[in-house]
Structure 1
Amino acid sequence: MSNVEEFPAAASRKLSEFEALLSLAPSVLDAMPGAVCICDHEGWLVRYNSEAAELWARAPALDGKHDRFCGSHRLFLPDGTPLPHGDCPMATAIWQGTPANNAEVIIERPDGLRFPALVNIRALTGHDGEIQGAINCFQDISAHKAAEDQVRRKIAELEDFFENSAIGLHIVSSDGIIRRANKAELALLGYSADEYVGRHVAEFHVDAPVIGDILQRLSSGEKLDRYPARLRAKDGSIKHVLLTSNGRFQDGKFVSTRCFMTDVTDLYESESARRESEERLAATYNAATIGIAEADVNGRLLRVNDALCEMLKRSREELLNMTFFDYTHEGDRTEDGALYQRQVRGELDSYVFRKRSTTPDGQTLYLDIHSSSVRDESGLFRYGVRVIQDVTAAKQMEDQIRASEQRMRDLLEALPAAVYTTDAAGRITFYNKAATEMSGRVPQPGDMWCVTWRLYNPDGTPLPHDQCPMAVALKEDRPVRGAEAIAERPDGSRVPFIPYPTPLHDADGKLIGAINMLVDITERKHAEGRQRLLIDELNHRVKNTLVTVQSLAGQTARHASDLGDFLQRFEARVLALSRAHDLLTKRYWKDTPLDGLAGEVLMPLTEEAASRVTIAGPAADLDPRTALSLTVVLNELATNAIRHGALSSNSGTLSLNWHLIYETGSAPRLNLDWQEHGGPRVETPIRRGVGSRLMERCIERDLGGAVDVAFEPAGVTCRISIPLHGSAND
Structure 2
Amino acid sequence: MSSVEEFPVAARRLSEYDALVAAAPSALDAIPGAVYLCDHEGWLVRYNREAADRWRRAPSLGKERVRFCGSHRLFLPDGTPLAHEDCPMATAVLTGAPTRNGEIVMERPDGSRFVALVNIRALRDHQGKIQGAINCFQDISAHKAMEKEIRRKSADLEDFFENSAIGLHIVDGDGMIQRANKAELSLLGYTAEEYVGRHIGEFHADVPVISDILRKLSCGEKLHRYPARLRARDGSIKHVLITSNSRFEDGRFVNTRCFTTDVTDLYEAESARRESEDRLAATYEAATIGIAEADADGRLLRVNDAICKMLGRSREELLTVTFFDYTLEDDREDDRALYARQIRGELDSYALRKRAVRPDGTMVYLDIHSSSVRDASGVFLYGVRVIQDVTAAKLMEDRIRENQQHMRDLLEALPAAVYTTDAEGHITFYNKAAAEMSGRTPQVGDLWCVTWRLYNPDGTPLPHNECPMAVALRENRAVRGVEAIAERPDGRRIPFIPYPTPLHDAEGNLVGAINMLIDITERKQAESRQRTLIDELNHRVKNTLATVQSLVGQTARHAESLEDFSQRFEARLLALSRAHDLLTKRHWDDAPLDLLAREVLTPLAGEAAERIAIDGPSVHLNPRAALSFTMALNELATNAVKYGALLSECGTLSVAWRLEARSDQTMLNLEWREQGGPPVKPPMRRGVGSRLMERCIERDLGGQFDLVFEPTGVCCRISIPVGPSALAGSAPMGPARA
TM-score range, shorter chain: 0.5 to 0.7
Deviation of residue 314 (structure 1)?
1.9
Unaligned runs of 5+ in 2: 1-161, 164-182, 196-228, 241-262, 724-732
Q: 1:369 is matched with which residue?
A: 368
Q: 1:575 to 1:348 in 2, by over 3 A?
A: same
Preserved CA contact (<8 Å) 2:674 2:712: no
Deviation of residue 319 (structure 1)?
0.9
CA offset digits 1:226-253 (Å, max 9, x no partner)? xx99999xxx9999999xxxxxxxxxxx
Deviation of residue 636 (structure 1)?
1.6
CA offset digits 1:139-170 (Å, max 9, x no partner)? xxxxxxxxxxxxxxxxxxxxxxxxxxxxxxxx
**TM-score, normalised on structure 2?**
0.56
Deviation of residue 561 (structure 1)?
3.0
SS of the aligned residue for 1:656 comes to strand
CA offset digits 1:32-66 (Å, max 9, x no partner)? xxxxxxxxxxxxxxxxxxxxxxxxxxxxxxxxxxx
Deviation of residue 652 (structure 1)?
4.5
Q: 2:500 is matched with which residue?
A: 501
Q: 1:457 is matched with which residue?
A: 456
From 652, 677, 684, give the equivalent of 1:686.
684
d(CA) in 2 for partners of 1:495 and 1:428?
21
Deviation of residue 690 (structure 1)?
1.6
2:189 corresponds to 1:207: yes
From 721, 728, 737, give the equivalent of 1:729.
737
The percent identity for this pair of structures is: 68
Deviation of residue 599 (structure 1)?
0.8
CA offset digits 1:595-619 (Å, max 9, x no partner)? 2111110111122332343333444
Deviation of residue 548 (structure 1)?
1.0
2:596 maps to a residue whose letter is L
* Mapping of residues 255-404 of structure 1, within 5 Å: 278=278, 280-286=280-286, 288-296=287-295, 298-330=297-329, 332-333=331-332, 335-337=334-336, 339-340=338-339, 343=342, 348-373=347-372, 383-398=382-397, 401-402=400-401
Point out the more displaced range, 543-552 or 389-398: 389-398
d(CA) in 2 for partners of 1:401 and 1:589?
57
Deviation of residue 558 (structure 1)?
1.9
Preserved CA contact (<8 Å) 1:710 1:718: yes
Deviation of residue 661 (structure 1)?
4.5
Preserved CA contact (<8 Å) 1:678 1:715: yes
Preserved CA contact (<8 Å) 1:267 1:278: no
d(CA) in 1 for partners of 2:491 and 2:620?
44
Identify which of structures 1 and 2 has the higher relative contact order when contacts are C-alpha pairs closer than 8 Å and 6+ apart. 1
2:687 maps to a residue whose letter is G
Q: 1:74 is matched with which residue?
A: none
Preserved CA contact (<8 Å) 1:622 1:724: no
* Mapping of residues 618-637 of structure 1, within 5 Å: 618-637=617-636
d(CA) in 2 for partners of 1:719 and 1:229?
131
d(CA) in 1 for partners of 2:279 and 2:432?
63
Aligned length: 493
Q: 1:722 to 1:382 in 2, by over 3 A?
A: closer
d(CA) in 2 for partners of 1:669 and 1:295?
104
Preserved CA contact (<8 Å) 2:648 2:676: no
d(CA) in 1 for partners of 2:237 and 2:573?
108
SS of the aligned residue for 1:386 comes to strand
d(CA) in 2 for partners of 1:607 and 1:240?
120
Preserved CA contact (<8 Å) 2:367 2:388: yes
Q: 2:582 is matched with which residue?
A: 583
d(CA) in 2 for partners of 1:276 and 1:212?
37
CA offset digits 1:309-361 (Å, max 9, x no partner)? 23223221111122323333455555535544665676655432223334445
1:729 maps to a residue whose letter is R
d(CA) in 1 for partners of 2:230 and 2:355?
40
Point out the more displaced range, 295-304 or 552-561: 295-304
1:547 maps to a residue whose letter is A
* Mapping of residues 498-647 of structure 1, within 5 Å: 498-506=497-505, 510-522=509-521, 524-647=523-646
d(CA) in 1 for partners of 2:326 and 2:396?
23
Unaligned runs of 5+ in 1: 1-174, 177-200, 214-227, 243-263
Preserved CA contact (<8 Å) 2:503 2:514: yes
Q: 1:519 to 1:277 in 2, by over 3 A?
A: same
Preserved CA contact (<8 Å) 1:268 1:275: no
2:697 corresponds to 1:699: yes
Q: 1:279 to 1:574 in 2, by over 3 A?
A: farther
Q: 1:467 is matched with which residue?
A: 466
1:557 maps to a residue whose letter is A
SS of the aligned residue for 2:639 comes to helix
d(CA) in 1 for partners of 2:474 and 2:230?
53
Preserved CA contact (<8 Å) 2:653 2:672: no
Deviation of residue 520 (structure 1)?
4.0
Preserved CA contact (<8 Å) 1:661 1:671: no
Preserved CA contact (<8 Å) 1:240 1:268: no
Q: 1:584 to 1:317 in 2, by over 3 A?
A: same
Deviation of residue 284 (structure 1)?
3.2
* Mapping of residues 368-447 of structure 1, within 5 Å: 368-373=367-372, 383-398=382-397, 401-402=400-401, 405=404, 418-431=417-430, 435=434, 438-439=437-438, 447=446
Preserved CA contact (<8 Å) 1:373 1:384: yes
Preserved CA contact (<8 Å) 1:613 1:654: yes
Preserved CA contact (<8 Å) 1:359 1:365: yes
Deviation of residue 493 (structure 1)?
5.9
SS of the aligned residue for 2:672 comes to strand
d(CA) in 2 for partners of 1:355 and 1:332?
6
d(CA) in 2 for partners of 1:534 and 1:460?
25
1:643 maps to a residue whose letter is K
Q: 1:551 to 1:370 in 2, by over 3 A?
A: same
User: Which protein shows a greater Rg?
Assistant: 2
Deviation of residue 588 (structure 1)?
4.2
SS of the aligned residue for 2:371 comes to strand
**TM-score, normalised on structure 1?**
0.57
